[in-house]
């Protein structure tokens, strides 16, 4: 082989190694992203179950306003809508405070 062929071969090997390294980095990023999504989905599932529990408990004590918000949260959780869940949590806190005050009277 001549020097030009050897140089080209060395360049190809170096480029291949660089591509392997980049591929591994991308694979690591994808794995980390998948783990984050799994954790996010588990959080939404937990919030959905909690909303379901609050829905039932509030219905048992006549807290219709809180029950409605909890139902909306449960639906948003099942739909996988974190923005709607964040919006509704503020309403839930308000309705809970109102129910608590009414029960303390």
* Domain count of the fold of the chain: 1
pLDDT at 69 over 70: yes
Which band of pLDDT confidence, cut at 50, 70 and 90, is reported for residue 57?
very high
The per-residue pLDDT for 103 is 85
pTM higher than 0.75: no
pLDDT at 67 over 80: yes
- 25 alpha-carbon distance from chain centroid: 23
Q: For residue 59, give both structure tokens.
A: 């219905």
- Distance CA(94)–CA(89), nearest Å, equals 9
- Domain encompassing residue 55: 3-104
Q: For residue 20, give both structure tokens.
A: 């392997």
The per-residue pLDDT for 3 is 62
């Amino acid at each position: 082989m001549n020097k030009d062929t050897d140089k080209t071969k060395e360049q190809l090997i170096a480029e291949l190694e660089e591509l392997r390294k980049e591929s591994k980095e991308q694979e690591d990023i994808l794995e980390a992203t998948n783990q984050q999504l799994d954790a996010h989905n588990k959080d939404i599932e937990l919030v959905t179950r909690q909303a379901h529990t609050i829905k039932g408990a509030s219905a048992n004590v006549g807290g219709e306003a809180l029950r409605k918000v909890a139902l909306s949260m449960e639906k948003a959780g099942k739909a996988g809508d974190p923005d709607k869940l964040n919006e509704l949590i503020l309403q839930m806190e308000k309705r809970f405070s109102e129910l608590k005050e009414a029960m303390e009277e």
